[in-house]
Amino acid sequence: MQKIAIIAMMRTLLPVLLLTVLLFMLSTACVPDRVASDLLAYVNQGILHIAELEQRALGRYAELATAPDASIEKRLEVLQTEVIPTYALFLDRLGDLRPQTDDVRRLHEIFVHGAEMIDRGLKAKRLGLLSRSDDVQRSADALIRQGQMETLRWRRALLALNQSRHIVSVEGRSSHGRGLLKLFEPK
């Protein structure tokens, strides 16, 4: 009698146990990498949509900075009417991005920090031109360079996270107009 009860119980429990193990295996095998998914969304649906603003502002600033014949008045006008407002819009939209995972949030914080430094540097440059102070302008240039170094650090961290998550990359122009930005696709 006990054997019959044990066999009946095994017939009931064995399929349930096998189904539970199978469902567990399927669920762990099919769970997408949250960080990789977040990174894909961050780059493809976030950064790439605002990169043109950054490129336009910094490209115009670079033109201005390398124009030997531009007067102080012309530099001020371009900074006040084109560069600073465009970069401020970029920074605002960058701040609107909300990564979902800690890894991508930390990465995003690096970019925001660098972009804020560049923004402060551009505004300080305007003040230096207004006051005709070479010291203020040199300090502004240093702040802009620091911000650029921070955004370069962001780019390197982005590529490292990309590689660690085994995401295929496709080459495209960088938002800085230098080098290449990797556009990400799932493997």
Contacts of 158 (CB under 8 A, 6+ apart): 39, 43, 107, 182
Residues 157-184 pLDDT 10s: 999 998 888 775 544 443 433 333 444 4
Q: Which amino acid is at 38?
A: D
Residues 40-85 pLDDT 10s: 899 988 999 999 999 999 999 999 888 888 899 999 999 999 999 9
What number of other Cβ atoms are within 10 A of residue 73's Cβ?
9
**What is d(CA 20, CA 97) in angstroms, rounded to the nearest whole number?**
39
pTM attached to this predicted model: 0.75
Q: What is the CATH number of domain 38-185?
A: 1.20.120
**What is d(CA 176, CA 57) in angstroms, rounded to the nearest whole number?**
10
**What is d(CA 145, CA 75) in angstroms, rounded to the nearest whole number?**
18
**What is d(CA 103, CA 33) in angstroms, rounded to the nearest whole number?**
12
